[in-house]
Amino acid sequence: MIEQSNNENEREMLEEYDFSGGVRGKYVGRFEQGANVVLLDPDVAKVFPDSESVNAALRALAGIIQERTEKVHP
């Protein structure tokens, strides 16, 4: 049985969840480096299947923005 708190989105952990094979702190290094989590809309996620492709596209766009900004505000 799922017990709900006053907030309908908050639910208790279900008994059938098994984390016995989990590794504590497996991704803590990423967060220490300042990771940001961004949710992509499904249509965007089809074009950018992984973080490397997203970062490459954003770096290219950032370069274009910087070039244009430098031309307008030298």
Instruction: Judge whether 2 and 17 are in contact, CB under 8 Å.
Output: no
Whole-prediction pTM? 0.51
Q: How far is CA 16 from the centre of its chain?
A: 27
Say whether pLDDT at 32 is over 70.
yes
21: exposed, middle or buried (Cβ count in 10 Å: 0-12, 13-18, 19+) = exposed
Return the amino acid letter for 3: E
Question: What single-letter DSSP state applies at residue 12?
Answer: P
In the chain, domain spans: 41-74
The residue whose two tokens read 């279900």 is 14
**Predicted confidence (pLDDT) per residue in 56-74, tens digit:** 999 999 999 999 998 888 7
